[in-house]
Amino acid sequence: MTKIAFTLNGRPAEAGAAGLERLATVLRRDLGCHDVKIGCDAGDCGACTVLLGGAPVCACITPATLAEGQAVETLTGLHATDPLVAQLTKAFERHGAAQCGICTPGMLVSAAALLRANPAPDEPQVRDALGGVLCRCTGYRKIIDAVIDWRGAEAPQDGRVGGAVARVDGARKVEGREVFGDDAPPADALVLRVIRSPHHLARFGFGDLDAYAKAEGLDLILTAADVPGLNAFGVIPAFVDQPVYAEGTARFRGEAVAAVIGPAARMTALDLSAFPVSWHPEPEALTPEAARAAGQMHEGRAENVMCRGFVKKGEAEEAIASAFVTAEGSFQTGFIEHAYIEPEAGFARWENGRVEIIGGTQAPQMNRDSLALILNLPQEAIRILPTAVGGGFGSKLDLSWQPHVALAAMRLKRPVRVVYSRSDSMSSTTKRHPAQMRVRAGATKEGRLSGFAFDGAFNTGAYASWGPTVANRVPVHASGPYAHADYVARTEAVHTNCVPAGAFRGFGVPQAAIAQECVFDDLCLALGMDRLEFRLLNALDNGIPTATGQVFDGAVGIKPCLEALKPAWEEAVKAAEAFNAQGGTLRKGVGVACGWYGCGNTSLPNPSTIRAGITGDGRIVLHQGAMDIGQGANTVIAQIFAEALGVPLEKVELIGPDTDVTPDAGKTSASRQTFVSGNAARLTGLALRAEVLRLTNCADGVIGFEGGLTVTAPDGIRHHVPLAEGMDYAIEAAETYDPPTLPLDKNGQGVPYAVYGYTAQMAELTVDTTLGTVVLTRIHAAHDVGRAINPMLVEGQIHGGVAQGIGLALMEEYIPGRTDNLHDYLIPTIGDVPPITSLIVEVTDPHGPYGAKGLGEHVLIPTAPAILSAIRHATGARITRVPATPDRVLAAIRAAKEA
């Protein structure tokens, strides 16, 4: 044990390092600094940034011994002791610079070091100082704004619907108090590690597990034999096919085959390479083509095709055949990793015959139902207590860490914790589906669409996860928000020996948009037509049936989005063409693309229930079950509820999505929370308001809080609301909303969603034609959100989605077994996201709460195709495979020149 004495946040501290240890480990484990977040343990993400002698370092790769005699400062200490940092945290709240909050400590600590040296930095200086901290939620722009404006004045807060109020849970995120999955495990918790397959496909057998457990001092080893219930999980009832622990054959690299559980100190020292398992690798199939010819992986799924999707309207082939111009193309996208900065983490404990699971999730009730089957326990015997979630984007809908610790805690009757390493997280949790797509389309002489055909094969990996959703959503959305008389879309999801592909912001639609929008640009070139005008001419509108035959009356907002872009479009196209006319190796380009997205489950029920109560002493409590994974549901749902009830937002106390006390508000996915749970919150607010008015015999009135809950009637008389003491709530309401949809018929015709949101985005960029590098200048993002419940959070979603779209377009590709870290798998840094102009369009929806539509997934759909369109405008390069890395762009520029 090496003793290390240093100053921690201004106070003397002493720690003992057991041999070579990371400073982050010592700070978190021994000194309670849970504000130091671990995202990668490799210096790749910067979440663990602390000041060492005043200079920012990654505590995860700094030897603890370096702290000897030095001053170490973490966010909580800086916030408490340095007025500059206290002001800076306020600016972060004011600007909405923290979303999930997991990178926030790293951002704030890095910014503090900058501002101490330079209180008036410009944007390049901020980027240089914060370039070492990755954020997956915010798109960085609001972080830059907050750092530059750190001394700015506090804005008045407006918590009503339409008010850009700071998020209600913001203070604890910016002050380092937020509790994520690995931040509050019981001191006596055992530690679990998962044994994973190192092969894409392998049979395996165990040696003497008992002897290994005994020799290593383990408390337990779990394998498939230890699962008391169903050794399978999944998110769609007909496709529950993924084992908690593989049985005999592991079908992807990273698949769990066993778990080892023991005391923390033993687990740190444990040499997993000695774990008694023998592997017998077999030839793997990593692509849909290979898999169609390979051995069948799942019963009933011939040629490894898991499922197909189909939408047909009119006669696409005939229309294409008779079109004035036609175009076609084949497109390819790779696996995309969610790359939330918080790896999966949590713990389980056994309490009075029940299992409690505490950690991050996007879908507490689904987790509970699935765990009940695995553990062979009634649902009531399982409690999910979600912590804050350090980013999800779809992957944390599925079970991952939970069954392991739940099984262990149930067996050992002791708390058991787990934290995934970055490589555990990347190798075993779901990804965006790789797509191979072919699109053919035609247009009339006037530029109207004349036939559109989409064929897509999606690599769904070894298990189903949300693959069926992708296969079903894509044919519905591959039309884009356009008017097609003749349309056909066919998809299939194919099993391979890859990590399962599942839900990722957009469920396959961003991939389809890349193909569809590029072929639209082909048509524009063939017609000599302006790309924005073509899209305006063909835009979907009220009264025109969608590809599934659904007709809207008033809620279609794509044309207003395109019109919002038009002034900037005309100016930018002109400027780019003038620039390019000068010659030179740098070329400027402008691109445009559209997107739409149906909010909620596709033609399936997906109700949300929101519960609220008023206590005997007049406090208003909202059971907010819509998981806030950074997007802002805690704030938006509370704003809607407060508006409906008629009270100020700050009077609403929140209780989170604890499955014991908060009803099911459904999963945080499908851009459904503002729309579906928002409606439930509105109904609950209205119900509670009706009860308050009834108790005071008022037909209407203003709710007040002077000396207890009151209602001031229109005649000015103030009534005290009589509230019974003694119960949890004197008045309580719980209302449910389920969006009206209709099934799709065999041709995919029907009403899959009650509400769609619409978007058009425009990218401006410069291409270096010598190197094939792309520098983005600006993204303009027009979004029809129906009604912006909170414009600041709307912008936050736009920025974050655009950043992910930039990654999809230019740098991200996950390759199983080769990019299981955040230095080989690249996501955009603060220097890769240009200024974003958000154009909020409000075409109110009759179904939406106060007219609101969903937004979470729409934001990234047009970004990549708009960027690719701009690269083509700049250089002629037609990119058909993303990411458009410099080598691919250069090759495409060459190909365009030769053509």
- Options 16, 32, 55, 690; binder of another protein; rule CB under 8 A: 55
Q: Which run of H or E residues covers position 491?
A: strand 487-495
Distance CA 783, CA 791 (A): 11
Which range, of 226-234, 371-379, 721-729, 880-888, touches another protein by CB under 8 A? 880-888
Write down the least CB distance from residue 694 to another protein, Å. 59
Residue whose tokens read 């000695």: 274
Q: In this chain, which stretch among 177-185, 280-288, 523-531, 806-814 interacts with another protein, using CB under 8 A? A: 806-814
332 versus 712: smaller Cβ distance to another protein: 332
Closest to another protein by CB, 461 or 883: 883
Binding range to another protein, per CB under 8 A, among 39-47, 487-495, 713-721, 795-803:
39-47
The reply on whether position 333 binds another protein by CB under 8 A is no
Binding residue (CB under 8 A) for another protein from 14, 68, 318, 745: 68
Site string for another protein, 750-789 (x = CB under 8 A): --------------------xxxx----------------
Q: In the bound complex, what is the minimum distance in angstroms from residue 809's beta carbon to another protein?
A: 12
Instruction: Give whichever of 33 and 305 is closer to another protein, judged by the CB atom.
Output: 33
User: Cis before residue 835, ω within 30 degrees of 0?
Assistant: no
**Binding status of residue 60 toward another protein by CB under 8 A:** yes
Q: Of 10, 29, 31, 42, which lies in the binding site for another protein, with binding defined by CB under 8 A? A: 42
User: For another protein, which residue of 78, 134, 385, 680 counts as binding (CB under 8 A)?
Assistant: 134
How far apart, in Å, are the Cα atoms of 354 and each of 189, 243, 381, 660? 17, 23, 5, 12
**Identified binder of another protein from the candidate list 39, 46, 500, 595, rule CB under 8 A:** 46
Q: How far is Cα 631 from Cα 804, in angstroms, rounded to an integer? A: 14
Site string for another protein, 176-205 (x = CB under 8 A): -----------------x------------
Distance CA 55, CA 113 (A): 7
Q: Which of 63, 152, 276, 560 binds another protein (CB under 8 A)?
A: 63
User: Three-state DSSP class for 301?
Assistant: coil
Total of residues contacting another protein (CB under 8 A): 66
Least distance CB 19 / another protein (angstroms): 3
* 223-231, 319-327, 463-471, 886-894 -> range binding another protein (CB under 8 A): 886-894
Query: Is 859 a residue that touches another protein (CB under 8 A)?
Result: no
Question: SS3 letters for 532-564?
Answer: HHHHHHHECCCCCCCCCCCCCCCCCCHHHHHHH
Q: How many CA atoms lie within 13 A of 168 on its CB side?
A: 26
What is the distance between the alpha carbons of residues 746 and 163, in angstroms, rounded to a whole number?
Answer: 44
The candidate with the shortest Cα–Cα distance to 490, out of 686, 316, 230, is 316
Asked if residues 97 and 385 have their Cβ atoms less than 8 Å apart, the reply is: no
Task: Confirm if 655 and 661 have CB atoms less than 8 A apart.
Answer: yes
Q: Which is nearer to another protein, 58 or 721 (CB)?
A: 58
Determine which residue in the list 366, 826, 843, 882 makes contact with another protein, applying CB under 8 A: 826
**C-beta closer to another protein: residue 46 or 309:** 46
Among the listed ranges 62-70, 297-305, 576-584, 747-755, the one in contact with another protein (CB under 8 A) is 62-70
HEC string of 767-820 equals EECCCCEEEEEEEEEEEECCCCCCHHHHHHHHHHHHHHHHHHHHCCCECCCCCC
How many CA atoms are closer than 13 Å to the CA of 9, on its beta-carbon side? 17
Q: Which of 829, 863, 869, 880 binds another protein (CB under 8 A)?
A: 829
HEC string of 302-359?
Answer: HHHEEEEEEEEECCHHHHHHCCCEEEEEEEEECEECCCCCCCCEEEEEEECCEEEEEE
Q: Does 810 bind another protein (CB under 8 A)?
A: yes
Is 2 a binding residue for another protein by CB under 8 A? The answer is: yes
- State the residue for tokens 């992910």: 804
Compute the least distance from the CB of residue 859 to another protein, in Å: 20
When asked if residue 887 is in the footprint of another protein (CB under 8 A), the reply is: yes
Which residue lies nearer to another protein by CB, 113 or 161? 113
Region near another protein per CB under 8 A, out of 50-58, 96-104, 535-543, 795-803: 50-58
Residue 56 or 856 having the CB closest to another protein: 56
- Is 1 or 153 the residue whose CB approaches another protein more closely? 1
Radius of gyration of the chain (CA): 27
Q: Which single residue is written with the structure tokens 């949101």?
A: 757
Pick from 652, 92, 599, 173: which is nearest to 389 by CA?
173
Among 421, 710, 875, 880, binds another protein (CB under 8 A): 421
Of 128, 210, 577, 700, the one binding another protein by CB under 8 A = 128
DSSP code, position 609: E
Query: Burial level of 37, CB count in 10 A (0-12/13-18/19+)?
Result: buried
Residue among 230, 517, 262 nearest 377 (CA): 230
164 phi and psi angles, rounded to 5 deg: -90, 55
- Does 828 contact another protein by CB under 8 A? yes
Distance of closest approach, residue 141 Cβ to another protein, in angstroms: 14
Residue 17 as a binder of another protein (CB under 8 A): the answer is yes
- Helix then strand count (H, E) for the chain reads 23, 31
- By beta-carbon proximity to another protein, the closer residue of 852 and 884 is 884
Return the number of the residue (370 or 829) whose C-beta is nearest another protein.
829
Identify the sign of the CA torsion 74, 78, 84, 88.
Answer: positive
Q: Does residue 232 belong to the site contacting another protein (CB under 8 A)? A: no
- CA-CA distance, 683 to 641, in Å (whole number)? 8
Q: Which of residues 260-289 bind another protein (CB under 8 A)?
A: 268-271
- The reply on whether position 22 binds another protein by CB under 8 A is yes
Out of 342, 664, 813, 857, the only residue in the binding site for another protein (CB under 8 A) is 813
User: Considering the rule CB under 8 A, would residue 886 count as an interface residue with another protein?
Assistant: yes
Q: Smallest Cα–Cα separation from 745: which of 607, 556, 555, 550?
A: 550
Task: Check residue 56 for interaction with another protein (CB under 8 A).
Answer: yes
> Which residue, 277 or 371, has its beta carbon nearer to another protein?
277
| Cα 305–chain centre separation | 27
Asked if 118 is part of the footprint of another protein (rule: CB under 8 A), the reply reads no
Q: Which of 216, 223, 220, 221 is nearest to 269 (CA)?
A: 216
Q: How far is the CB of 770 from another protein (least distance, A)?
A: 5
Q: Which is nearer to another protein, 270 or 661 (CB)?
A: 270
Nearer residue to another protein within complex by CB, 122 or 271: 271
Give the span between the Cα atoms of 808 and 860, in whole angstroms.
Answer: 9
User: Cβ of residue 288: shortest distance to another protein, in angstroms?
Assistant: 21
User: Cα separation of 515 and 510, whole Å?
Assistant: 9
Q: In the set 277, 642, 890, 892, which binds another protein (CB under 8 A)? A: 890
Nearer to another protein, 235 or 830 (CB): 830
d(CA 260, CA 192): 6
**Tokens read off for 771:** 């190197």
Under 8 Å CB-to-CB from 11, ≥6 apart: which residues? none
Q: Which of 37, 127, 200, 559 binds another protein (CB under 8 A)?
A: 127
Judged by the rule CB under 8 A, the positions of this chain that interact with another protein are: 2, 17-22, 41-44, 46, 49, 52, 55-58, 60-63, 65-66, 68, 110, 113, 127-129, 131-134, 193, 268-271, 421, 423, 770-773, 810-811, 813, 815, 818-819, 821, 823-824, 826, 828-832, 883, 885-887, 890-891
